[in-house]
Amino acid sequence: MDKARVVVVGAGFAGLWVVRRLASEKDVEVMLLDRHNYHTFLPLLYQVAAAELEPEQIAYPLRGICRRHSNVRLAVTEVRGIDTARKLVRADGLDIPYDYLVVAAGSRTAYFGVPGAEEHSFSLKTLEEAVCLRNQIISCFEQAALESDPERRRAMLTFTVVGGGPTGVEYAGALAELVRAPLRKDFPELDMNEVRVVLLEAAPGVLGGFPERLRGYAKKRLGAMGVDVRLDASVAEVTAAGVLFASGEHLPTHTVVWTAGVRGEVVAEHMGLPLGRGGRVAVLSTLQVEGLPEVFVVGDMSLPEGQNPPMNAPNATQQGRLAAENILAMLQRRDPVPFRYRDKGAMATIGRQAAVVRMGNFAFSGFLAWLLWLFVHLAYLIGFRNRLIVLINWAWDYLFYERAVRLILPRRGCGTIDSRKREAAQGAGDADRPGATCS
């Protein structure tokens, strides 16, 4: 009872950095809440969807983290809201009291009101979605190998990625490499000239926020890999049959991957927190909710006063660390300090031996940028075993042009596009729906 009880909602980068900082404090008891019992390394999620890595290679069990610290506990539950008057977090089946609350629930895909986008496209925010997308890609090839109608086969073999940011560029490049080597050998009966990877970007260039030279390099490199990069391509509607552009053109495709944007998680609405731009929670510069000094919001959900930090891992770790420091300052009756995002740069890989890196005033691309990208992602991946296995998979792919995870697995549970819709369908008695499909 003498310890301050800190409840952390969400085990992403922001939430884990809060836990890490507070784990050594004897006067603090930490309760970590998450709907999953693992942390997902989201920067490599696209490689699961591209059959390069297994899901467990970019995930780490949360209890493996918590058991190292005697003052940290874990509850796997779904958070439904908060009672700020009684200082309670409302979760499935229990109310959890707090002295300080840190909300770090992350983000979800933003569809910007495009008709049919949520219903007919694949998002890439969770391990389940990545596995379903992998199933979809492999299933399309399997079914195309049996399809006699040329138009239907071409639609099956057209893979469309909407959004030219880092995730879209990285996934388009990884998908092009998957098609160019492993699947070409797996499906000799298919004419690989019929396979198309199309990257759509509504802006005049890919990788917005990068220097123009790097943006040009990325577009040129993708083109050399066989990716059809279409700029100024605004999507007006997504249907089961394809993509309709604002210009009126229609692109027949059975696979649309939506990476065009993100917004704050919906749990913020359930908590009654003040929302700002992009569904993010408007907070003070100290990351506290106005009028609720004991409630902090960090990571992708947080929109600090007068700032618009990017929704990425460096921002999440910086905010998580500062929120923990501010909690400790308040316990010591010191004033919390404001958050200022430190831009350490940005990077994106385009494929084999190709990446772009921006670090301060320095910008470079090519092989050295690719090596730096590999090093940074391995360094931040949690778990020595995960680092070792990921490194082995990367080496195997690099040396032998092979992807080890070309599996349609599991067959059940991936029948619809969105994971929430899948759960609803199963709850309605549709659990026997088959796996990913191109039909």
The residues that are catalytic are: 170
DSSP 40-106: E-GGGHHHHHTTSS-GGGGEEEHHHHHTT-TTEEEEE--EEEEETTTTEEEETTEEEE-SEEEE---
- Structure tokens given for 345: 């740069």
Phi and psi torsions of 303, nearest 5°: -125, 85
Instruction: Tell me the one-letter amino acid at 254.
Output: H
Determine how many CB atoms are found less than 10 A away from the CB of residue 142: 15
Looking up tokens 């005033």 gives 361
Looking up tokens 């009966």 gives 189
The SS3 call for residue 243 is strand
Tell me which DSSP letter residue 183 carries: I
Residue whose C-alpha is closest to residue 402's, from 196, 178, 176: 178
d(CA 365, CA 194): 30
d(CA 246, CA 338): 43
In the chain, DSSP finds a helix count (H) and a strand count (E) of 14, 25
Tell me which DSSP letter residue 206 carries: S
d(CA 357, CA 272): 39
d(CA 82, CA 96): 9
β-pairing, 255-258 vs 250-252, is unpaired
First to last CA, the chain: 59
DSSP run (H or E) holding 132 = helix 127-144
d(CA 254, CA 241): 6
The SS3 call for residue 35 is coil
CA 222 vs. chain centroid, Å, equals: 21
DSSP run (H or E) holding 407 = none
